[in-house]
């Protein structure tokens, strides 16, 4: 096929929305750089660029058929592209493609039948290598581990495996470890006890505490972990010296690494590493490959890395699914006989049922917590999450139709149905707006009283949340926010449908370090009493500003908030790291590529006590049948 004809075809595909303009521009760049007229790198370059935009790290040459359909190529152009050996031969001959046989600074890299953008290949290789080094550098278990482990995790008499104890035992002998589990399985509790264990043993042997840092991908997730750890450390059965050596100041990863404004680079890199001995990262499912690469580059070689997260939640918005890749085998354990014997000796836990013939080094560093304390045996929400995760659409339908803690709207939601949800006095947005008015402080109120009012308004708002899969359209964030504002205004609960008004919830959409606000932080506009009996509109945020884990209130003028949006409805991605008493999920009325099993699972598990789903049976079945698969070789490279 003529190269210029192919480029015109690719640009037409971009005009029609089947590719992005960026993908077409990259294809033309490759054609100009190659200079040989070879059409294969240009064609596949457009596709690998498009794949990266959908979260994939690479393009698998054996799975090209469906992707080629996007370009709507003539049959005579398609057939040669399905001959994988011939494709690889042409890629190896290109000057814009590097391979194992010819490593050079090219835009594309061919690696074991996978085509990468150079930067993702570099990141994947770095992450795999850094994890491998930690797997091959086991930490010698300190003296007293068994006694301290059994003291912090006493036997409950059931004879069952105590997975939090197993997780702590494995992490105590590892430079790299993962603790995964669903909502309410005790990941944070386990890691607090782990930190107590590590510091107790460290102080007993060296009289100098470990330098421990705690981080999370977003401001919202870090605030939640901050509050949770602070309360649990206070109740931990350790000495005062150990308790004082356990930090509860949680920061975002970008702040930890020292993000540079308007740059992808960080202050802490290989030549200026982080000053720490242990790094704990919560909500690790939200970490993309590039960010994990930055973390491992900045981490001192001797430091421990502990990842916490739910392997079944939505992956990061950017390319990669690091936690999901690393936890692919966690359900079955795949422990070695040596690991099982060591655990039996050190903790008394018998993990023999999770010993497998196909053991890999990574498996010996991963522990999955399996008992949920949030969802009891009779919880419809908990059982629905399990059914969705297991791909059981029939069970999910039965639970949605019969469980008391769930409500299923199978038809397209209309204005009346939406009003019923948001105007409900006990579980809708009317609840927080009524309390905002009823508990309003008098004009002479103290600063403490005003803070308490704002804190109560924020807590009341978080009882209910509308979630969406998409941003645009009637079922998206923009459309639902407009409808909710209209309904609340008609009901006399807010003063305006436009601009700023008391009660407006807003979400920060970009980190603002000068204000201490992170992407995902939510605040509420309040009319705050000032001198002379007047009021001024201020936006109240809960911000953790100290190491005591206490969330403080910060009032900001609306004009100071640069990047924000109304937050009656938010995407499921934005809700990660949060919990609400009642969640209502609005899905498009027709199947959508964005509505996956992981999205549905993540939305369900944001709800503590009530879940409402607006979706047809067809859309639900489609989502449950469509687990997200992101092309990557990270797990393979870590295990090689």
Per-residue confidence (pLDDT) for residue 619, from 0 to 100 = 87
Question: What's this model's pTM, rounded to 2 decimal places?
Answer: 0.86
Question: From the centroid of its chain, how far is CA 513?
Answer: 21
CA distance to 99, 387, 595, 625, per residue, from 588 (Å): 43, 21, 8, 16
Whether pLDDT at 550 is above 60: no
Given a cut of 50, is residue 546 above it in pLDDT? no
Q: Phi/psi at 608 (nearest 5 deg)?
A: -85, -45
Q: What is the dihedral of CA 376, 379, 382, 383, to 10 degrees?
A: 110
Whether the pLDDT of residue 320 is over 60: the answer is: yes
pLDDT attached to residue 143: 84
**pLDDT surpasses 80 at 168:** yes
pLDDT at 373 over 90: no
CB-CB contact of 355 with 340 (8 Å) = yes
Q: How high is the pLDDT of residue 131?
A: 95
Q: Supply the mean pLDDT for the chain.
A: 86
Residue 368 pairs in a beta bridge with 180
Encoded tokens for 4: 């210029």
Burial class from Cβ neighbours inside 10 Å (0-12, 13-18, 19+) for residue 122 reads middle
Note whether 307 and 178 are within 8 A (CB): yes
Contacts of 227 (CB under 8 A, 6+ apart): 544, 549, 550, 551
Report d(CA 308, CA 191) in Å as an integer. Answer: 8
Q: How confident is the model at residue 535 (pLDDT cuts 50, 70, 90)?
A: confident
Mean pLDDT across the stretch 440-457? 86
Phi, psi of 270 (to 5 degrees): -60, -30
Q: In angstroms, rounded to a whole number, what is the distance separating the alpha carbons of residues 625 and 445?
A: 56
In eight-state DSSP terms, residue 175 is S
pLDDT in tens, 585-600: 998 887 777 788 899 9
User: Coil, strand or helix: which one is 523?
Assistant: strand
Q: Cα separation of 225 and 251, whole Å?
A: 9
Residue with tokens 């993990």: 351
Mean pLDDT for the stretch of residues 388-399: 89
Instruction: Please write the tens of the pLDDT for every residue from 137-158.
Output: 878 888 889 999 998 888 887 8
440: Cβ–Cβ under 8 A, 6 or more apart, which residues? 453
pLDDT in tens, 230-278: 778 888 888 899 888 888 888 888 888 887 766 677 888 888 898 999 9
Is 304 in contact with 135 (CB distance < 8 Å)?
no
Residue 306 in 3-state DSSP?
Answer: strand
- Cα separation, 148 vs 286, in Å, equals 33
Say if residues 595 and 623 touch (Cβ distance below 8 Å).
yes
Q: In this model, does residue 549 exceed pLDDT 50?
A: no
Q: pLDDT-based confidence at 548, cuts 50/70/90? A: very low
pLDDT at residue number 377: 65
CA distance 392 to 621: 9
In this predicted structure, what is the pLDDT of residue 544?
57
pLDDT above 60 for 133:
yes
Question: Counting beta carbons within 10 angstroms of the beta carbon of residue 58, is it exposed (0 to 12), middle (13 to 18) or buried (19 or more)?
Answer: buried
Read off the pLDDT of residues 153-162 as tens digits, 9 standing for 90 and up: 888 878 889 9
Q: How far is CA 57 from the centre of its chain?
A: 17
Q: 482 burial class (0-12, 13-18, 19+ CB within 10 angstroms)?
A: middle
Pairing mode, if any, of strands 505-508 and 522-529?
A: antiparallel
Q: How confident is the model at residue 204 (pLDDT cuts 50, 70, 90)?
A: confident
What are the residues facing 553 on neighbouring strands?
Answer: 542
Residues 6+ apart with CB under 8 A from 122: 293
Cα gap 495→497, rounded to integer Å:
7
Least confident interval from 243-257, 278-292, 398-412, 539-553: 539-553
């Amino acid at each position: 096929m003529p190269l210029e004809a192919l480029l015109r075809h690719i640009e037409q595909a971009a005009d029609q929305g089947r590719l992005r303009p960026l993908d077409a521009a990259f294809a033309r760049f490759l054609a100009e750089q190659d200079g040989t007229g070879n059409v294969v790198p240009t064609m596949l370059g457009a596709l690998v660029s498009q794949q990266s935009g959908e979260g994939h790290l690479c393009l698998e040459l054996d799975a090209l058929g469906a992707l080629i359909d996007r370009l709507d190529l003539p049959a005579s152009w398609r057939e040669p592209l399905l001959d994988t050996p011939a494709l690889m031969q042409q890629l190896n001959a290109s000057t814009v493609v590097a391979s194992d046989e010819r490593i050079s600074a090219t835009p594309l890299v061919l690696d074991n039948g996978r085509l990468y953008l150079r930067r993702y290949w570099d990141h994947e290789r770095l992450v795999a290598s850094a994890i491998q080094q930690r797997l091959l550098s086991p930490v010698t278990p300190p003296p007293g581990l068994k006694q301290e482990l059994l003291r912090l995790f006493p036997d409950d008499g059931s004879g069952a495996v105590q997975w939090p104890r197993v997780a702590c035992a494995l992490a105590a002998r590892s430079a790299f470890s993962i603790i995964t589990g669903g909502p309410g399985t005790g990941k944070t509790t386990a890691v607090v006890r782990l930190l107590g264990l590590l510091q107790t043993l460290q102080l007993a042997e060296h009289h100098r505490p470990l330098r421990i840092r705690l981080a999370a991908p977003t401001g919202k997730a870090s605030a939640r972990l901050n509050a949770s750890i602070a309360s649990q450390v206070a109740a931990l059965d350790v000495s005062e010296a150990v308790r004082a050596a356990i930090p509860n100041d949680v920061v975002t990863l970008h702040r930890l690494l020292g993000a540079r404004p308007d740059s992808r680079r960080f202050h802490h890199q290989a030549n200026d590493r982080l000053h720490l001995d242990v790094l704990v990262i919560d909500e690790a499912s939200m970490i993309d490959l590039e960010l994990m690469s930055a973390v491992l580059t900045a981490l001192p070689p001797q430091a421990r890395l502990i990842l916490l997260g739910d392997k079944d939640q939505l992956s990061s918005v950017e390319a990669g699914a690091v936690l999901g890749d690393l936890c692919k085998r966690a359900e079955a354990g795949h422990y070695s006989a040596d690991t099982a014997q060591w655990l039996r000796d050190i903790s008394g836990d018998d993990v023999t049922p999770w010993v497998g013939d196909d053991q890999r080094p990574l498996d010996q560093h991963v522990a999955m917590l399996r008992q949920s304390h949030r969802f009891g045996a009779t919880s419809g929400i908990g059982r629905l999450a399990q059914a969705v995760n297991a791909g059981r659409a029939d069970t999910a339908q039965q639970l949605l139709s019969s469980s008391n803690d769930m409500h299923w709207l199978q038809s397209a939601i209309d204005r009346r149905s939406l009003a019923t949800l948001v105007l409900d006095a006990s579980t809708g947005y009317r609840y927080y707006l009524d309390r905002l008015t009823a508990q309003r402080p008098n004009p002479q109120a103290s600063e403490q009283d005003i803070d308490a009012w704002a804190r109560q308004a924020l807590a009341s708002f978080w009882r209910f949340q509308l979630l969406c899969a998409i941003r645009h359209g009637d079922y998206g964030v923009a459309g639902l926010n407009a409808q909710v504002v209209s309904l609340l205004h008609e009901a006399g609960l807010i003063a305006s449908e436009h601009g700023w008004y008391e009660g407006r919830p807003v979400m920060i959409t970009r980190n603002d370090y000068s204000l201490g606000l992170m992407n995902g932080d939510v605040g509420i506009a309040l009319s705050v009493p000032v001198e002379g009996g007047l009021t001024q509109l201020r936006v109240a945020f809960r911000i953790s500003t100290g190491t005591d884990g206490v969330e403080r209130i910060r009032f900001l003028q609306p004009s100071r908030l640069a990047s924000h949006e109304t937050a009656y409805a938010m995407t499921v991605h934005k809700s990660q790291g949060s919990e609400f008493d009642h969640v209502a999920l609005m899905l498009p009325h027709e199947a959508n590529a964005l509505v996956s099993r992981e999205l549905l699972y993540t939305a369900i598990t944001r709800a503590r006590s009530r879940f409402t789903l607006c979706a047809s049976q067809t859309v639900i079945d489609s989502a449950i049948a469509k687990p997200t698969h992101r092309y990557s070789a990270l797990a393979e490279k870590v295990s090689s």
